[in-house]
């Protein structure tokens, strides 16, 4: 079966880039943060969303979710936001779910032998 998987170095580089961008919006409002993060995730899914790469898309999603929690915890003097409270924030401002831009069925059209 034809499929693509993101190279490890590219994955690390894109996760570091996401981390840097999230640091730059750390002190914005939650609504603005969620909007910016979703824009970043949509762009990542659009570029890397090929058949065979879904597992790594979820890895990036989970990384962003964990880092957002850590980032919100570090910006307050109370120092920690429990996961229950973070779950409420995620319900109000949900993160973009991973989505394949080109599925396995369509990737065969692009395959060149």
DSSP at 27:
T
Among 58, 83, 68, CA closest to 32: 68
pLDDT digits (tens, 9 = 90+) for 37-73: 999 999 999 998 888 888 999 999 999 999 999 999 8
Residue found under tokens 């069925």: 105
pTM summary value: 0.86
pLDDT digits (tens, 9 = 90+) for 78-107: 678 899 999 999 999 999 999 888 887 777
Share of the chain above pLDDT 70, in %: 92
SS3 102: strand
Residue 84 confidence (pLDDT): 94
Residue 56 confidence (pLDDT): 92
């Amino acid at each position: 079966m034809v499929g693509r998987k993101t190279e490890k170095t590219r994955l690390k580089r894109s996760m570091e880039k996401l981390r840097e961008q999230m640091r730059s919006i750390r002190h914005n409002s939650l609504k603005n943060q969620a909007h910016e993060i979703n824009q970043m995730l949509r762009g990542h899914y659009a570029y890397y969303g090929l058949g065979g790469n879904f597992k790594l898309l979820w890895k990036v999603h989970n990384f962003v979710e964990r880092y957002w929690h850590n980032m919100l915890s570090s910006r307050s003097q109370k120092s920690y936001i429990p996961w229950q409270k973070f779950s409420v924030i995620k319900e109000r401002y949900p993160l973009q779910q991973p989505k394949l831009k080109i599925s396995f069925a369509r990737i065969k059209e692009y395959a060149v032998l």
